[in-house]
Amino acid sequence: MTEETPGFPQEPEVPAEAGQEQPDDAAEAAGPASSEAGPAGPRQGPDGDGTDGDPNRIAEGAALTAQLDQTRTALSERTQDLQRLQAEFKNYRRRVERDRVAVKEVAVANLLTELLPVLDDIGRARDHGELVGGFKSVAESLEMVAAKLGLMQFGKEGEPFDPTVHEALMHSYSPDVTETTCVQILQPGYRIGERTIRPARVGVAEPQPGAQPAQSASPQGDEGEQADDDSGDPDEG
């Protein structure tokens, strides 16, 4: 028989195993609840942009969007500027190349123009049979160099007179021509490509005033001869 101390109630004894099982039961009860909740993610804002409705984040996103639009606009403008500069540079290169060719042609034309009197002397010496020996070799070499530079000679007897490339120094009439014709070449003309650096100096002849062309006169002559033959037949009979 146990003696009880007055004033201090005794607590019932609890087995040790029962006290250890309580935390495990609490963990098991909390486990399914936490697994059902799943991992907590960022809360979406009203617009679904992850800003959670924060005014600061909304303002920051609007500022980034405006900055992106501004960058795109600047990129488009710079691209157009670059394309315009490329087109201007291509036009500049074409203009420079065209000017370079024109300057070269003018320089060559000026040089050959100064050589024309020498070429005229060579031509006259050839016509008189004086182009012989070493002088002939030098003259032929000079003419070859002038031809390589693009110098071309023109002007022949019998070709129609063209005031754009011929200069008439003598004038006459002739029944043998049907139009104004170059009948004598006093000095040949020279050109470089399509550019005439000196016209051909020629003597021209025009049809005789009042003269009928030979083709139109021949049928009349044939008819006259035939009429004389017809008139002579009765006399012979």
Q: What is the pLDDT of residue 11?
A: 53
Same domain, 136 and 160: no
- DSSP conformational letter for 180: -
Q: Which residues pair with 204 in a beta bridge?
A: 171, 182
Domain endpoint, select from 100, 120, 149: 149
Question: What is the per-residue pLDDT for 54?
Answer: 77
Q: Is residue 231 part of a domain?
A: no
Residue 186 belongs to domain with CATH number: 2.30.22.10
Task: Say how many domains are in the chain.
Answer: 2
Does residue 119 sit in the same domain as residue 174?
A: no
One domain, residues 174 and 207: yes
- With a cut of 70, which residues of the chain have pLDDT below it? 1-53, 210-237
- Please report the pLDDT score of residue 48 as a whole number: 52
Q: Is residue 174 part of a domain?
A: yes
> Are 164 and 135 within one domain?
no
**183: nearest Cα among 168, 196, 165, 198:** 168
The reply to whether 123 falls in a domain is yes
Structure tokens at 36: 């059902």
Q: Are residues 165 and 177 in the same domain?
A: yes
- Ordered strands of the 166-174 beta sheet: 166-174, 200-207, 181-187
Question: Same domain for 60 and 144?
Answer: yes
> Please, which residues have CB within 8 angstroms of residue 43's CB and are 6 or more apart in sequence?
52
Residue 193 lies in a domain: yes
Assess if residue 138 is contained within a domain.
yes
Name the residue range of residue 200's domain.
Answer: 152-211
Strand partners, 2: none
Tell the residue number behind the tokens 């002559």, with chain if given. 221
| Residues 161 and 144 both lie in one domain | no
Q: Cβ distance 44 to 52 under 8 Å? A: yes
- 164 shares a domain with 81: no
Neighbours of 189 (CB within 10 A): 20
What pLDDT, on a 0 to 100 scale, did the predictor assign at position 219? 45
Task: Look at residue 183 and tell me if it is in a domain.
Answer: yes
Do both 136 and 68 map to the same domain? Answer: yes
Residue count of the chain, please give it.
Answer: 237
Query: Looking at the structure, do residues 106 and 164 belong to the same domain, yes or no?
Result: no
At residue 201, the pLDDT reads: 93
For residue 207, give the H/E element and its range: strand 200-207
Return the pLDDT at 105.
87
199 Cβ partners below 8 Å, 6+ apart? Answer: 164, 165, 166, 167, 189
Residue 64 in any domain: the answer is: yes
- The Cα 176–Cα 109 span in angstroms is 38
pLDDT at 60: 85
Query: Are 91 and 119 contained in the same domain?
Result: yes
- Shared-domain flag, residues 139 and 71: yes
76 located within any domain: yes
